[in-house]
Amino acid sequence: MTESLKKGTARIQRVPLGAVTVPLSFGDQVITSLLFNHDANPVHHKPDHAVQWMLGLASNAALAGDSSELAQAGPEERTYTLGAKLLQHPEIVVMPGIILSSLCYERFIGPEELTVSVTTTFTYPLLVPTTGKVDVKIEAFELRGENPPDPDLGQVRHLLLEAHGPGLDGQPVRLLKLEALAYPAGTNPEAVYRKVVAPEFQSLEKLKDQQPSMPGISHPAAISEEDRRRYARIVGFDRRISPLAWQAKIPRVLTEIIEHMRGHEAYQKEVRGYYDGRPDEAERRAAIARYVEKEAKYRGIESGSREARAEELAGLAQQLYARQHTVFDPRQFVQGGPATKAQAPFKLDLHLYDFRLRRGIHRFYTGARQGENQVFMGEATVTGQPLVTKDLANFLAEINHSFETLKLFEYSPRG
Protein backbone atom coordinates (compact mmCIF):
# COMPACT_ATOMS: atom_id res chain seq x y z
CA MET A 1 0.00 0.00 0.00
CA THR A 2 1.29 3.46 -0.92
CA GLU A 3 1.68 5.86 2.02
CA SER A 4 1.56 9.66 1.69
CA LEU A 5 3.88 11.84 3.74
CA LYS A 6 4.05 15.63 3.97
CA LYS A 7 7.45 17.25 3.64
CA GLY A 8 7.32 21.03 3.55
CA THR A 9 4.71 21.87 0.94
CA ALA A 10 5.28 18.67 -1.07
CA ARG A 11 3.33 15.46 -0.60
CA ILE A 12 5.71 12.53 -0.63
CA GLN A 13 4.50 9.09 -1.62
CA ARG A 14 6.20 6.22 0.18
CA VAL A 15 5.81 3.34 -2.26
CA PRO A 16 6.72 -0.14 -0.98
CA LEU A 17 9.14 -1.99 -3.24
CA GLY A 18 9.18 -5.23 -1.30
CA ALA A 19 10.68 -6.97 1.68
CA VAL A 20 13.13 -9.83 2.02
CA THR A 21 14.38 -11.87 4.98
CA VAL A 22 18.08 -12.71 4.85
CA PRO A 23 19.62 -15.38 7.12
CA LEU A 24 23.09 -14.38 8.33
CA SER A 25 25.57 -16.85 9.79
CA PHE A 26 29.11 -16.79 11.07
CA GLY A 27 30.66 -18.10 7.84
CA ASP A 28 31.16 -16.01 4.73
CA GLN A 29 29.42 -12.98 6.21
CA VAL A 30 31.91 -12.63 9.03
CA ILE A 31 34.90 -13.52 6.86
CA THR A 32 33.87 -10.82 4.41
CA SER A 33 33.26 -8.27 7.13
CA LEU A 34 36.77 -8.89 8.41
CA LEU A 35 38.24 -8.59 4.96
CA PHE A 36 36.57 -5.31 4.18
CA ASN A 37 36.37 -3.66 7.55
CA HIS A 38 37.95 -4.68 10.80
CA ASP A 39 40.70 -7.15 10.03
CA ALA A 40 42.82 -5.15 12.49
CA ASN A 41 40.08 -4.96 15.11
CA PRO A 42 39.48 -8.16 17.13
CA VAL A 43 36.25 -6.83 18.64
CA HIS A 44 34.15 -8.05 15.75
CA HIS A 45 35.57 -11.51 15.19
CA LYS A 46 36.49 -12.84 18.61
CA PRO A 47 33.40 -13.74 20.63
CA ASP A 48 34.92 -12.87 24.02
CA HIS A 49 35.94 -9.43 22.73
CA ALA A 50 32.55 -8.93 21.13
CA VAL A 51 30.81 -9.51 24.46
CA GLN A 52 33.32 -7.22 26.15
CA TRP A 53 32.55 -4.52 23.57
CA MET A 54 28.78 -4.99 23.91
CA LEU A 55 29.04 -4.82 27.71
CA GLY A 56 30.61 -1.40 27.27
CA LEU A 57 27.48 -0.33 25.41
CA ALA A 58 25.04 -1.78 27.93
CA SER A 59 24.59 1.51 29.80
CA ASN A 60 23.57 3.26 26.57
CA ALA A 61 19.83 3.91 26.35
CA ALA A 62 19.79 3.20 22.61
CA LEU A 63 20.84 -0.39 23.21
CA ALA A 64 17.68 -1.14 25.18
CA GLY A 65 15.43 -0.50 22.17
CA ASP A 66 12.42 1.77 22.01
CA SER A 67 9.89 -0.88 23.00
CA SER A 68 11.92 -2.58 25.72
CA GLU A 69 10.98 -2.29 29.38
CA LEU A 70 14.50 -0.92 29.85
CA ALA A 71 14.00 2.00 27.46
CA GLN A 72 13.30 4.34 30.39
CA ALA A 73 15.65 2.63 32.83
CA GLY A 74 18.82 4.20 34.21
CA PRO A 75 22.30 3.17 33.07
CA GLU A 76 22.94 0.95 36.08
CA GLU A 77 19.77 -1.09 35.59
CA ARG A 78 20.46 -1.42 31.84
CA THR A 79 24.04 -2.52 32.44
CA TYR A 80 23.10 -5.19 34.96
CA THR A 81 20.08 -6.52 33.02
CA LEU A 82 21.58 -6.48 29.54
CA GLY A 83 24.98 -7.56 30.80
CA ALA A 84 23.48 -10.65 32.38
CA LYS A 85 21.68 -11.49 29.12
CA LEU A 86 24.88 -11.05 27.13
CA LEU A 87 26.85 -13.37 29.37
CA GLN A 88 24.22 -16.07 28.83
CA HIS A 89 25.06 -16.00 25.09
CA PRO A 90 28.80 -15.46 24.83
CA GLU A 91 29.27 -17.07 21.40
CA ILE A 92 28.43 -14.04 19.27
CA VAL A 93 30.23 -11.63 17.00
CA VAL A 94 29.24 -8.09 16.04
CA MET A 95 28.67 -7.68 12.32
CA PRO A 96 29.89 -4.29 11.00
CA GLY A 97 26.85 -2.26 10.05
CA ILE A 98 28.41 -0.95 6.86
CA ILE A 99 28.52 -4.52 5.49
CA LEU A 100 24.86 -4.92 6.44
CA SER A 101 24.05 -1.71 4.55
CA SER A 102 25.78 -3.17 1.48
CA LEU A 103 23.70 -6.30 1.79
CA CYS A 104 20.53 -4.18 1.86
CA TYR A 105 21.51 -1.80 -0.91
CA GLU A 106 22.67 -4.33 -3.51
CA ARG A 107 19.26 -5.99 -3.44
CA PHE A 108 17.37 -2.91 -4.59
CA ILE A 109 19.81 -0.91 -6.77
CA GLY A 110 21.05 -2.56 -9.96
CA PRO A 111 24.63 -2.19 -11.23
CA GLU A 112 23.42 -0.40 -14.35
CA GLU A 113 21.89 2.45 -12.31
CA LEU A 114 24.00 5.50 -11.44
CA THR A 115 24.48 5.77 -7.68
CA VAL A 116 24.80 9.39 -6.56
CA SER A 117 24.72 9.18 -2.77
CA VAL A 118 24.07 6.79 0.09
CA THR A 119 23.30 7.91 3.65
CA THR A 120 23.09 5.23 6.34
CA THR A 121 22.04 5.78 9.94
CA PHE A 122 23.11 2.91 12.20
CA THR A 123 20.76 2.38 15.13
CA TYR A 124 21.67 -0.98 16.70
CA PRO A 125 24.62 -3.38 16.41
CA LEU A 126 23.79 -6.75 14.84
CA LEU A 127 24.79 -9.80 16.88
CA VAL A 128 25.59 -12.91 14.82
CA PRO A 129 25.95 -16.30 16.56
CA THR A 130 29.03 -18.41 15.82
CA THR A 131 26.69 -21.37 15.36
CA GLY A 132 23.29 -21.14 13.71
CA LYS A 133 22.00 -17.98 12.07
CA VAL A 134 20.09 -14.78 12.66
CA ASP A 135 17.34 -13.49 10.34
CA VAL A 136 17.40 -9.88 9.15
CA LYS A 137 14.29 -8.42 7.51
CA ILE A 138 14.95 -5.75 4.89
CA GLU A 139 12.11 -3.46 3.77
CA ALA A 140 12.41 -1.13 0.78
CA PHE A 141 10.42 1.95 -0.22
CA GLU A 142 10.71 4.55 -2.95
CA LEU A 143 9.93 8.16 -2.02
CA ARG A 144 8.16 9.90 -4.90
CA GLY A 145 6.96 13.43 -5.47
CA GLU A 146 9.82 15.09 -3.58
CA ASN A 147 11.62 16.67 -6.56
CA PRO A 148 10.44 17.37 -10.11
CA PRO A 149 12.33 15.65 -12.95
CA ASP A 150 15.44 17.46 -14.19
CA PRO A 151 15.11 18.35 -17.92
CA ASP A 152 18.62 17.00 -18.57
CA LEU A 153 18.75 14.06 -16.18
CA GLY A 154 15.20 12.85 -15.78
CA GLN A 155 13.71 11.66 -12.48
CA VAL A 156 16.07 10.64 -9.69
CA ARG A 157 15.14 7.60 -7.61
CA HIS A 158 15.00 8.22 -3.85
CA LEU A 159 15.10 4.91 -1.99
CA LEU A 160 14.54 4.25 1.70
CA LEU A 161 15.68 0.90 3.12
CA GLU A 162 15.33 -0.37 6.68
CA ALA A 163 16.76 -3.50 8.28
CA HIS A 164 15.35 -5.13 11.40
CA GLY A 165 16.78 -7.96 13.48
CA PRO A 166 16.56 -9.38 17.01
CA GLY A 167 17.88 -7.35 19.92
CA LEU A 168 19.36 -8.71 23.12
CA ASP A 169 15.94 -9.72 24.41
CA GLY A 170 14.99 -11.37 21.12
CA GLN A 171 12.52 -8.65 20.15
CA PRO A 172 12.96 -6.99 16.73
CA VAL A 173 14.90 -3.73 16.64
CA ARG A 174 15.84 -1.46 13.75
CA LEU A 175 19.45 -2.09 12.82
CA LEU A 176 19.82 0.68 10.27
CA LYS A 177 18.06 3.10 7.95
CA LEU A 178 19.52 3.78 4.50
CA GLU A 179 18.58 6.47 1.99
CA ALA A 180 20.00 6.44 -1.53
CA LEU A 181 19.74 8.61 -4.63
CA ALA A 182 20.25 6.94 -8.02
CA TYR A 183 19.49 7.73 -11.64
CA PRO A 184 18.07 5.11 -14.04
CA ALA A 185 20.23 3.23 -16.51
CA GLY A 186 20.97 5.27 -19.62
CA THR A 187 21.29 8.58 -17.77
CA ASN A 188 24.35 10.57 -18.87
CA PRO A 189 26.99 10.07 -16.11
CA GLU A 190 28.91 13.18 -17.16
CA ALA A 191 25.78 15.31 -16.75
CA VAL A 192 25.02 13.73 -13.36
CA TYR A 193 28.53 14.51 -12.19
CA ARG A 194 28.47 18.10 -13.43
CA LYS A 195 25.03 19.04 -12.12
CA VAL A 196 24.73 16.95 -8.93
CA VAL A 197 28.00 15.43 -7.76
CA ALA A 198 30.55 18.19 -8.43
CA PRO A 199 28.78 20.76 -6.17
CA GLU A 200 28.61 18.12 -3.39
CA PHE A 201 32.32 17.37 -3.81
CA GLN A 202 33.17 21.06 -3.51
CA SER A 203 31.27 21.28 -0.23
CA LEU A 204 32.67 18.06 1.24
CA GLU A 205 36.27 18.83 0.28
CA LYS A 206 36.24 21.84 2.60
CA LEU A 207 35.81 19.53 5.60
CA LYS A 208 39.42 18.32 5.35
CA ASP A 209 40.79 21.73 6.28
CA GLN A 210 38.45 22.64 9.15
CA GLN A 211 40.84 21.40 11.86
CA PRO A 212 44.25 20.78 10.27
CA SER A 213 45.86 20.00 13.64
CA MET A 214 43.57 16.99 14.22
CA PRO A 215 44.41 13.40 13.19
CA GLY A 216 44.28 12.43 9.52
CA ILE A 217 45.47 9.49 7.47
CA SER A 218 45.88 8.42 3.83
CA HIS A 219 45.76 4.66 3.53
CA PRO A 220 46.70 2.66 0.40
CA ALA A 221 44.10 0.03 -0.52
CA ALA A 222 42.76 -2.11 -3.35
CA ILE A 223 39.89 -4.48 -4.01
CA SER A 224 41.25 -7.77 -5.26
CA GLU A 225 39.36 -10.32 -7.35
CA GLU A 226 39.07 -12.48 -4.23
CA ASP A 227 37.69 -9.49 -2.31
CA ARG A 228 35.11 -9.06 -5.05
CA ARG A 229 34.08 -12.73 -4.94
CA ARG A 230 33.69 -12.72 -1.18
CA TYR A 231 31.74 -9.48 -1.26
CA ALA A 232 29.48 -10.98 -3.96
CA ARG A 233 28.82 -13.97 -1.71
CA ILE A 234 27.68 -11.89 1.23
CA VAL A 235 25.42 -9.55 -0.76
CA GLY A 236 24.05 -12.46 -2.79
CA PHE A 237 24.81 -11.10 -6.26
CA ASP A 238 27.78 -11.84 -8.51
CA ARG A 239 28.44 -8.47 -10.08
CA ARG A 240 31.23 -6.04 -10.75
CA ILE A 241 32.82 -3.95 -8.02
CA SER A 242 30.14 -1.50 -6.90
CA PRO A 243 30.10 1.84 -5.02
CA LEU A 244 29.10 0.07 -1.80
CA ALA A 245 32.04 -2.34 -2.10
CA TRP A 246 34.29 0.74 -2.02
CA GLN A 247 32.40 2.26 0.90
CA ALA A 248 32.81 -0.98 2.85
CA LYS A 249 36.53 -0.26 3.09
CA ILE A 250 36.04 2.89 5.20
CA PRO A 251 35.74 1.32 8.70
CA ARG A 252 39.05 -0.47 8.25
CA VAL A 253 40.76 2.91 7.91
CA LEU A 254 38.63 4.26 10.75
CA THR A 255 40.21 1.53 12.88
CA GLU A 256 43.64 2.80 11.83
CA ILE A 257 42.90 6.45 12.56
CA ILE A 258 41.25 5.67 15.91
CA GLU A 259 44.47 3.91 16.93
CA HIS A 260 46.37 6.97 15.70
CA MET A 261 44.18 9.25 17.84
CA ARG A 262 45.24 7.44 21.02
CA GLY A 263 48.73 8.89 20.65
CA HIS A 264 47.92 12.14 18.88
CA GLU A 265 48.97 14.94 21.20
CA ALA A 266 46.67 17.71 19.92
CA TYR A 267 43.59 15.48 20.18
CA GLN A 268 44.59 13.99 23.54
CA LYS A 269 45.13 17.48 24.93
CA GLU A 270 41.48 18.24 24.12
CA VAL A 271 40.40 14.99 25.77
CA ARG A 272 42.39 15.64 28.94
CA GLY A 273 41.07 19.18 29.13
CA TYR A 274 37.50 17.91 28.90
CA TYR A 275 37.77 15.16 31.54
CA ASP A 276 40.02 16.84 34.11
CA GLY A 277 38.07 17.85 37.21
CA ARG A 278 34.74 16.32 36.17
CA PRO A 279 32.89 14.66 39.10
CA ASP A 280 31.49 11.89 36.89
CA GLU A 281 35.00 11.08 35.65
CA ALA A 282 36.23 10.88 39.25
CA GLU A 283 33.41 8.40 40.02
CA ARG A 284 34.32 6.32 36.97
CA ARG A 285 37.98 6.22 37.98
CA ALA A 286 37.04 5.19 41.52
CA ALA A 287 34.87 2.35 40.20
CA ILE A 288 37.69 1.14 37.95
CA ALA A 289 40.09 1.22 40.91
CA ARG A 290 37.66 -0.95 42.92
CA TYR A 291 37.47 -3.41 40.04
CA VAL A 292 41.27 -3.54 39.76
CA GLU A 293 41.47 -4.34 43.48
CA LYS A 294 39.11 -7.27 42.89
CA GLU A 295 41.20 -8.33 39.91
CA ALA A 296 44.36 -8.15 42.01
CA LYS A 297 42.80 -10.27 44.73
CA TYR A 298 41.90 -13.13 42.39
CA ARG A 299 44.50 -12.83 39.65
CA GLY A 300 47.58 -11.84 41.61
CA ILE A 301 48.28 -8.43 40.09
CA GLU A 302 51.27 -6.93 41.85
CA SER A 303 50.50 -3.85 43.92
CA GLY A 304 52.88 -1.71 41.86
CA SER A 305 51.01 -2.44 38.63
CA ARG A 306 47.51 -1.66 39.90
CA GLU A 307 47.72 2.03 39.04
CA ALA A 308 48.96 1.26 35.53
CA ARG A 309 46.19 -1.32 35.08
CA ALA A 310 43.52 1.17 36.15
CA GLU A 311 44.95 3.76 33.77
CA GLU A 312 44.91 1.22 30.93
CA LEU A 313 41.25 0.36 31.48
CA ALA A 314 40.24 4.01 31.88
CA GLY A 315 41.85 4.87 28.54
CA LEU A 316 40.10 2.21 26.47
CA ALA A 317 37.59 3.77 24.05
CA GLN A 318 34.33 2.49 22.58
CA GLN A 319 33.71 3.48 18.95
CA LEU A 320 30.38 2.88 17.23
CA TYR A 321 29.25 3.93 13.77
CA ALA A 322 26.34 6.37 13.94
CA ARG A 323 26.07 7.62 10.34
CA GLN A 324 27.84 7.35 6.98
CA HIS A 325 27.12 9.74 4.10
CA THR A 326 28.91 9.07 0.80
CA VAL A 327 28.68 10.83 -2.57
CA PHE A 328 30.00 8.90 -5.59
CA ASP A 329 31.29 9.99 -8.99
CA PRO A 330 29.12 7.84 -11.31
CA ARG A 331 31.59 8.23 -14.18
CA GLN A 332 33.99 5.94 -12.29
CA PHE A 333 31.43 3.13 -11.96
CA VAL A 334 30.03 2.76 -15.47
CA GLN A 335 30.62 -0.61 -17.14
CA GLY A 336 34.39 -1.03 -17.38
CA GLY A 337 35.01 2.18 -15.42
CA PRO A 338 38.25 2.57 -13.44
CA ALA A 339 36.56 1.95 -10.06
CA THR A 340 35.12 -1.40 -11.23
CA LYS A 341 38.47 -3.04 -11.95
CA ALA A 342 39.99 -5.43 -9.42
CA GLN A 343 43.48 -4.74 -8.07
CA ALA A 344 43.38 -1.06 -9.08
CA PRO A 345 45.29 0.79 -6.30
CA PHE A 346 43.66 3.72 -4.54
CA LYS A 347 44.03 5.88 -1.44
CA LEU A 348 41.47 6.19 1.33
CA ASP A 349 41.65 9.55 3.10
CA LEU A 350 40.19 10.21 6.54
CA HIS A 351 40.46 13.32 8.65
CA LEU A 352 38.86 14.23 11.98
CA TYR A 353 37.22 17.58 11.29
CA ASP A 354 34.81 18.03 14.20
CA PHE A 355 34.12 16.49 17.61
CA ARG A 356 31.83 17.09 20.58
CA LEU A 357 33.26 15.27 23.59
CA ARG A 358 30.24 15.97 25.77
CA ARG A 359 28.10 13.89 23.41
CA GLY A 360 30.91 11.59 22.31
CA ILE A 361 30.43 12.61 18.66
CA HIS A 362 33.36 12.50 16.21
CA ARG A 363 32.99 13.50 12.56
CA PHE A 364 35.45 12.42 9.89
CA TYR A 365 35.94 13.48 6.30
CA THR A 366 36.11 10.34 4.17
CA GLY A 367 37.32 10.09 0.59
CA ALA A 368 38.78 7.70 -1.98
CA ARG A 369 40.89 8.54 -5.01
CA GLN A 370 42.61 6.75 -7.84
CA GLY A 371 45.50 8.94 -8.89
CA GLU A 372 43.95 12.32 -9.69
CA ASN A 373 40.40 10.92 -9.90
CA GLN A 374 38.20 11.38 -6.84
CA VAL A 375 35.99 8.29 -6.62
CA PHE A 376 33.90 9.33 -3.64
CA MET A 377 33.73 11.84 -0.81
CA GLY A 378 31.68 11.78 2.34
CA GLU A 379 31.56 12.08 6.09
CA ALA A 380 31.38 9.51 8.86
CA THR A 381 29.90 10.19 12.26
CA VAL A 382 31.19 7.96 15.04
CA THR A 383 30.11 7.94 18.67
CA GLY A 384 32.99 7.51 21.07
CA GLN A 385 32.83 6.90 24.80
CA PRO A 386 35.01 5.24 27.43
CA LEU A 387 34.72 1.48 27.05
CA VAL A 388 34.87 0.84 30.80
CA THR A 389 32.08 2.93 32.30
CA LYS A 390 31.44 3.29 36.03
CA ASP A 391 28.49 0.90 35.73
CA LEU A 392 30.48 -1.70 33.80
CA ALA A 393 33.35 -1.62 36.32
CA ASN A 394 30.90 -2.13 39.20
CA PHE A 395 29.09 -4.90 37.30
CA LEU A 396 32.28 -6.83 36.50
CA ALA A 397 33.49 -6.53 40.09
CA GLU A 398 30.19 -7.76 41.50
CA ILE A 399 29.87 -10.83 39.28
CA ASN A 400 33.60 -11.65 39.47
CA HIS A 401 34.22 -11.59 35.73
CA SER A 402 37.54 -10.70 34.18
CA PHE A 403 37.41 -7.85 31.69
CA GLU A 404 39.87 -9.66 29.39
CA THR A 405 38.46 -13.16 29.17
CA LEU A 406 34.94 -12.80 30.59
CA LYS A 407 35.48 -16.14 32.32
CA LEU A 408 34.86 -16.63 36.01
CA PHE A 409 37.87 -15.84 38.12
CA GLU A 410 39.84 -18.86 39.19
CA TYR A 411 41.39 -18.82 42.63
CA SER A 412 45.03 -19.86 42.44
CA PRO A 413 46.44 -20.54 45.93
CA ARG A 414 50.01 -19.44 46.32
CA GLY A 415 52.41 -21.96 47.61
In a domain, 106, yes or no: yes
More confident residue, 208 or 161: 161
User: In which band, very low, low, confident or very high, does the pLDDT at 406 lie, cut at 50, 70 and 90?
Assistant: low
- For the chain, give the mean pLDDT: 84
In a domain, 62, yes or no: yes
User: Which of 360, 333, 378, 402 minimizes the C-alpha distance to 120?
Assistant: 378
User: In which band, very low, low, confident or very high, does the pLDDT at 414 lie, cut at 50, 70 and 90?
Assistant: very low
* CATH code for the domain of 379: 3.10.129.10
Burial class (CB in 10 A: 0-12, 13-18, 19+), 303: exposed
How confident is the model over 62-113, as pLDDT tens digits?
A: 676 665 677 778 888 888 888 888 887 778 888 888 888 998 999 999 888 9
In a domain, 123, yes or no: yes
In a domain, 272, yes or no: no
In a domain, 284, yes or no: no
Least confident of 21-30, 47-56, 223-232: 47-56
In a domain, 293, yes or no: no
In a domain, 239, yes or no: yes
How confident is the model over 296-327, as pLDDT tens digits?
A: 877 666 666 888 989 988 988 877 888 999 99
pTM for this predicted structure: 0.86
**pLDDT score for 401:** 67
Q: Helix/strand/coil (H, E, C) string of the chain? A: CCEEEEECCEEEEEEEEEEEEEEEECCHHHHHHHHHHHCCCHHHCCHHHHHHHHHHHCCCHHHHCCCCCCCCCCHHHHHHHHHHHHHHCCCEEEECHHHHHHHHHCCCCCCCCEEEEEEEEECCCEEEECCCEEEEEEEEEEEECCCCCECCCECCEEEEEEEEEECCCCCEEEEEEEEEEEECCCCCHHHHHHHHHHHHHHHHHHHHHCCCCCCEEEEEECCCHHHHHHHHHHHCCCCCCCHHHHHCCHHHHHHHHHHHHHCCHHHHHHHHHHHCCCHHHHHHHHHHHHHHHHHHHHHCCCHHHHHHHHHHHHHCEEEEEEEEEEEECHHHCCCCCHHHCCCCCEEEEEEEEEEECCCCEEEEEEEEEECCEEEEEEEEEEEEEECCCHHHHHHHHHHCECCCCCCECCCCCCC
In a domain, 196, yes or no: no
User: In terms of residue numbers, what domain contains 339?
Assistant: 3-187+204-263+317-386
- Please check the confidence at residue 183 and state whether its pLDDT lies above 60: yes
- CA 167 to the chain's CA centroid: 17
Q: How many domains does the chain have?
A: 1
